[in-house]
Amino acid sequence: MGTITVETEKELKDALEEVRNTGVLYMVLGGGSNVLLTKDYPGIVILNRIKGIKLVEDAQEFVVVEAGSGEIWHHLVMYCVDHGFGGIENLSLIPGRVGAAPIQNIGAYGVELKDVFESLTAINTDTLERKTFQKKDCEFGYRDSVFKRNLKNRYIITSVRLKLKRSPETNISYGAIAAVLKEKNIIDPGIKDVSEAVIDIRSSKLPDPAVLGNSGSFFKNPVIKREVYQKLHNRYPQLPCYNVDDNFVKVPAGWMIEQCGLKGKRFGETGCHKDQALVIVNYGNATGKEIHEHALRVIDLVNKKFGIQLEPEVNII
């Protein structure tokens, strides 16, 4: 039915009032990088372009940075890296906008948004009142928050505040970061070094959405009990895992998908990427329905082989 682009909180409220008065369906999109539409949307799409990055607290050991929810996430990361504010360098090159970051509790290479999250502001879609959410209010979980559950579609995020360190300790323990830094002969890496390493890794493994349609990692990495992992490890000794706590570990969905023979395998105009099985790609003409059908195919095959039910990270509409 059309789109409405909003660049300020007031414009967002005006748009919400307009769609409410007319009674049409609506949805809010930032970049749309984590959304799969399986059919034409029968309503209004509100495009969030609320931008701006500013320093709202400047202390000796830390800073608090505020960004508009319509800012491109990677632009925010680069701003912080360039200014020496540490904490989100491991989240470099994640697609999408700032407003989606707390909804999804985005994470990569051993770091999650909740690790640096300070607060956010959001507009109630019913009352149009503004509310501030502190960290505890957001109920962050693995790729999860209260905004995906109890408060789904009830609030629209307008700004996010992050608390970052002036003298950060870099985290290079996850994935191939340490190996990339070693190849570059970087012994004492700073946040810029880590960011560049992450960008190199992601660029080599993940296709550019502007070139080959994709939503990045399509599935969450399953968190399973240690005893379940041990039984699987007895059958599949190469199955990796990452510690979550004393009782649970995380296993890589991409590895299991690859073991099912799906890496690089094409089904019509869709399939799993040749370099990263966790990424479902659109070769040009696949419909949202066809991509969803392939996702269900992946879920079914992994479940049959490993007894683990994969859960989509992408929002399917």
Q: Which are the catalytic amino acids?
A: 143, 217, 313
CA angle 33, 65, 158 (to 5 degrees): 50
Return the sign of the alpha-carbon dihedral for residues 307, 313, 179, 225.
negative
Return phi, psi of residue 253, to 5°.
-60, -40
Q: Which amino acid is at 166?
A: R
Residue 259's alpha-carbon distances to 105, 154, 179, 236, 263, in angstroms, are 28, 40, 24, 10, 8
For residue 312, give the 3-state DSSP assignment: strand
Return phi, psi of residue 18, to 5°.
-65, -50
How many H-runs (helices) and E-runs (strands) does the chain carry? 9, 19
Return the sign of the alpha-carbon dihedral for residues 106, 198, 275, 242.
negative
